[in-house]
Structure 1
Amino acid sequence: MRFSTAFLFSFFLILGCSSKQPVGPRFAEVVCKDFVATVSDLGEVGSEEEFQVIAPFTTKINWMKEEGSMIKRGDRVAELDTEKQKEELETALLSLDQKSCDLAVEKANSEDEVFSLARQAEAADHGLSVEKLNLNFLLHGRDQTQMVEVSQAIKAIDEQISVLAKELPERRSLYQRGFASKEELDKAEALKKELDFRIKALRVRFGALEQGPLDEELAKQRGKVAVAKAERDRLRQSLFVAKARRPIDREDNQLQLKTIKATIEENEKLISACQVRAPQNGMLVYGQVYAGDDMVKVSPGDSISEGDTLARLSNPAKTLIRVSCNALDLAKLKVGQSALFTLDAYSDQRFEGVVSSIGAVGQPRFRRDKNDVRVVEVGVRATRSDPRIKPGMTANVEIETSRMKNSLVLPLQAILHDKQGAFCLLSTSGKSVRTPITVLDTNETEAAIAPGLKAGDRVELSEDRR
């Protein structure tokens, strides 16, 4: 129990001692000194004379010459992987052979089809002509040969009937007198009846031949003509389609061949481009590509996309640092402004430079920047040549945008704003008095103001800007 009481006492004692004590306002003095405003950002050492080596296609980097090497025009700087292109080339060559063979077979088959259909259409046209002639004969012609044959048969039978007509009375008389048998008489009478029947049939046949065909015969023949015409039209249509299809098929096949040949040419071109050579003399600096939102240097084994910068060839005698400055600072930047920069490799050494160029177009700082921060490229040329400054190095650059001698300066923490403008809280007789000020320029920590306050005045620092 004693231990618990002592523990609680110690706990509350420590808690009381560690509780936050109220802090009074902080103050700073207005000083008179030279004010310098700068724009600072990171840059990369390059050259005023620089040539980009662009990746000709999307692939993997198999090999690259060591960065920093001095390269002559035509030297090999990288080797790109072409396994995919070689596979596509082999496939395209096989497709070309197969397609050429298929086209030869299709051409032969097409010619055979057209020839066969032409012969069939010709035969069908002839068959239709025959059926039309038959119909025309039925409508307008008579079979004179049959009419003569029937007429002659009628005449011959008529003569036989005339003879029998004379003989029958004599035969009946002979039979009645017993000079002829019953059988002979019956035979003669039966022949007479048969001849009468035959002559009647022949006369009917002769009348039909004179009159022409029956409606059933005409309908049947017209049906044959219609069937022959339909077959002839079908074959003509098939022949027309076959002939019309030939140039279309030929055009399609030529287009397919052209596509295959283009694929072959493209892959042969890419395979020949896998040995990347320098377009100009210069120091080799590896290119940079996006990895997420960051730019990283490429290296052997990396994948690279068509159009990416594989490398740069820089003239080390014309050093130029490319700095990405916030576009909001564009109005402050001017060609000819002095600059200081350090290199990561020589962080304790400050080098002098001068602004030589300012980009006209703002670009996103990051590829996927939700805040849409825009930057402009500012070129800074080193004032003196130094062998330590090499292309590809990272530089921390500070550009002097303005300098004011004997200016009134106060910390940014002392400046407040409201609807009436900028002001500060001037400490007078222990009180803070709102005092309007005019800000002439600012840097990262201080502001130069127009006369109004005087050196030595104490101003209150804002808690919000600590």
Structure 2
Amino acid sequence: MSFIKKLIKSLPKNLKSKRTIFAILIILFGFYFLSRGSAELKKIETVKVLRADIRQEVLASGKISADKESTIHSAVSGKVVWVGVKSGEYVARGKAIATLDRERYEIALRQAQQDVIAADAELAKVYDDITRTSGVETFDNRIKRTAAEAKKNKAFDLVKLAERNLKDTTIVSPIAGTVVELSVNAGDEILPTAEIAVVSQTGNIKFVAEVDEVDVVKVKKGQQALLTLDAYEGRTFDSKVSEIGQKSITTSTGATAYEVNIILSEQQNLLLGMNGEASILISALSDVLIVPTEAVVDDKFVYVKAQDLFEKKQIEPGIASDQDVEVKSGILQGDEVVVSGFDEIGRLSLLQKILKKLR
């Protein structure tokens, strides 16, 4: 309003009539209305295209695991009467870890053995009956013999099962290694398939990374990786991809991933279960044109500043890091590309639209 008052005061006396002032106000308000909606250039942020080094990496979380590990389960149920190892103790292959109460399995074995004796006697009687009848086997005798033989075979199989159950009351380690987890105590009642212990070969450990299904296709055996562990803040470990899992897993967040095994060049003072993150190097280039990732629109376009105008240009993108994208062609070093304020590009006021149509 002060601007309008100053403008009216500056008018010559012969132009200070009400009609003239009203016409001037109409023109000013019309110009203001028609000029609204144009781009606010100060909201458009740009950066210069630079030459720099770029690394394409795949990041994945994981933890330290043993190269070979065995989770030991009980094959039979019963009461634990003895536990012969402690967590952290080394065990040889075949060493007894725990035993269950054997009494009922010994009884079952003796009963099965007696059933074999009885079935054998019954079969011998059938053979004797056949011999007494001139040695010619009738159809009825064949049925009796076949049933007696089947009964003996079944009884024999039950003996083998009872022997196996009795043997399984002694739980042994199938591999040599360190007991990293012990799940039972003497006096516990356990069911078949109950977990007894976990034995790991801690002499050769690895980092198992869970790589997202989108990224795993980029990972190859032998690629370099850099590990960071939560337990060693600020320290990194050089490593290398040794194996890529062929079967998918579901992560704790519900995503589909693949386990990638990474060999550790340094294993001293590293413990099983330590959590961390692997940065797997996919490719690296030196002294190439790069732009920030936020500058790239629809995967292959950028907006280049030319004075107060912005030109949309197509580029040929190369490798990408989390922050930057390599540009193979389409723009030059020193060009200014838009990184924010894209909504302001191309906005025209009503007056600008009218003038554009009149050209």
Instruction: Find the counterpart in structure 2 of residue 42 from structure 1.
Output: 61
Indicate how the Cα distance of structure 1 residues 381 and 260 shifts in structure 2: closer, same or farther if over 3 A, else same.
same
Which residues in structure 2 correspond to 1:332-371 (within 5 Å)? Answer: 332-346=218-232, 348-359=233-244, 361-366=245-250
Output the amino acid matched with 1:450: K
Instruction: Find the counterpart in structure 1 of residue 273 from structure 2.
Output: 392
Does the aligned pair in 2 maintain the 1:439–1:449 contact within 8 Å? yes
2:208 maps to which of 319, 322, 325: 322
Output the amino acid matched with 2:321: N
In structure 2, the residue corresponding to 1:345 is in which secondary structure? coil
Indicate how the Cα distance of structure 1 residues 41 and 255 shifts in structure 2: closer, same or farther if over 3 A, else same.
same
Does the aligned pair in 2 maintain the 1:338–1:352 contact within 8 Å? no
In structure 2, the residue corresponding to 1:416 is in which secondary structure? coil
Instruction: Find the counterpart in structure 1 of residue 312 from structure 2.
Output: 434
Output the amino acid matched with 1:311: V
Deviations 1:215-266 (A, max 9, x none): xxxxxxxxxxxxxxxxxxxxx9xx8234223431232122212221221122
Indicate how the Cα distance of structure 1 residues 77 and 103 shifts in structure 2: closer, same or farther if over 3 A, else same.
closer
TM-score, normalisation: structure 2? 0.63
Determine if the alignment matches structure 1 residue 313 to structure 2 residue 201.
yes
Q: In 2, distance between residues paired with 1:266 and 1:277?
A: 17
Does the aligned pair in 2 maintain the 1:45–1:394 contact within 8 Å? yes
1:261 maps to which of 113, 137, 159: 159
2:141 maps to which of 234, 243, 264: 243
In structure 2, the residue corresponding to 1:362 is in which secondary structure? strand
Indicate how the Cα distance of structure 1 residues 76 and 102 shifts in structure 2: closer, same or farther if over 3 A, else same.
closer
Deviation at 1:335, TM superposition (A): 5.0
Q: In 1, distance between residues paired with 2:58 and 2:262?
A: 13
Determine if the alignment matches structure 1 residue 402 to structure 2 residue 283.
yes
Instruction: Find the counterpart in structure 2 of residue 279 from structure 1.
Output: 175
Deviation at 1:341, TM superposition (A): 1.7
Does the aligned pair in 1 maintain the 2:108–2:162 contact within 8 Å? no
Instruction: Find the counterpart in structure 2 of residue 55 from structure 1.
Output: 72
Which residues in structure 2 correspond to 1:123-142 (within 5 Å)? Answer: none
Deviation at 1:269, TM superposition (A): 2.7
In structure 1, the residue corresponding to 2:226 is in which secondary structure? strand
Structure in which a larger fraction of residues adopt helix? 1
Does the aligned pair in 2 maintain the 1:320–1:380 contact within 8 Å? yes
Q: In 1, distance between residues paired with 2:292 and 2:236?
A: 28
Q: In 1, distance between residues paired with 2:140 and 2:152?
A: 18
In structure 1, the residue corresponding to 2:166 is in which secondary structure? helix
Deviations 1:139-170 (A, max 9, x none): xxxxxxxxxxxxxxxxxxxxxxxxxxxxxxxx
In structure 2, the residue corresponding to 1:257 is in which secondary structure? helix
Indicate how the Cα distance of structure 1 residues 242 and 319 shifts in structure 2: closer, same or farther if over 3 A, else same.
closer
Deviation at 1:462, TM superposition (A): 8.3
In structure 2, the residue corresponding to 1:365 is in which secondary structure? strand
Q: In 2, distance between residues paired with 1:71 and 1:369?
A: 35
Aligned residues, how many? 294
Instruction: Find the counterpart in structure 1 of residue 32 from structure 2.
Output: none
Deviations 1:404-463 (A, max 9, x none): 23333333333222xxx7112334444443211121112234322224243461314488
1:27 maps to which of 18, 31, 45: 45
Instruction: Find the counterpart in structure 2 of residue 190 from structure 1.
Output: none
Deviation at 1:363, TM superposition (A): 1.4
Q: Which runs of 5+ in 2 are unaligned?
A: 1-39, 344-359
Q: In 1, distance between residues paired with 2:128 and 2:120?
A: 12
Q: In 1, distance between residues paired with 2:202 and 2:156?
A: 42
Q: Over aligned residue pairs, what C-alpha RMSD do you find? A: 4.4
Indicate how the Cα distance of structure 1 residues 330 and 368 shifts in structure 2: closer, same or farther if over 3 A, else same.
closer
Deviation at 1:364, TM superposition (A): 0.8
Q: In 2, distance between residues paired with 1:26 and 1:89?
A: 85
Output the amino acid matched with 1:39: V
Indicate how the Cα distance of structure 1 residues 369 and 263 shifts in structure 2: closer, same or farther if over 3 A, else same.
farther
Q: In 2, distance between residues paired with 1:257 and 1:406?
A: 80
Output the amino acid matched with 1:312: S
Does the aligned pair in 1 maintain the 2:106–2:166 contact within 8 Å? yes
Does the aligned pair in 2 maintain the 1:110–1:242 contact within 8 Å? no
Indicate how the Cα distance of structure 1 residues 330 and 88 shifts in structure 2: closer, same or farther if over 3 A, else same.
same
Deviations 1:26-61 (A, max 9, x none): 5352444322221111233245xx443353654689
Instruction: Find the counterpart in structure 1 of residue 263 from structure 2.
Output: 380
Instruction: Find the counterpart in structure 1 of residue 350 from structure 2.
Output: none
Q: In 1, distance between residues paired with 2:237 and 2:254?
A: 35
Does the aligned pair in 2 maintain the 1:342–1:397 contact within 8 Å? yes
Deviations 1:82-125 (A, max 9, x none): 46x8656644542442453365357548856986xx59xxxxxx
Q: In 1, distance between residues paired with 2:124 and 2:243?
A: 66
Does the aligned pair in 1 maintain the 2:227–2:239 contact within 8 Å? no
TM-score, normalisation: structure 1? 0.51
Deviation at 1:319, TM superposition (A): 4.5
Structure in which a larger fraction of residues adopt strand? 2
Indicate how the Cα distance of structure 1 residues 309 and 363 shifts in structure 2: closer, same or farther if over 3 A, else same.
farther
Does the aligned pair in 2 maintain the 1:340–1:352 contact within 8 Å? yes
Deviations 1:121-145 (A, max 9, x none): xxxxxxxxxxxxxxxxxxxxxxxxx
Does the aligned pair in 2 maintain the 1:39–1:401 contact within 8 Å? yes
Q: In 1, distance between residues paired with 2:277 and 2:192?
A: 28
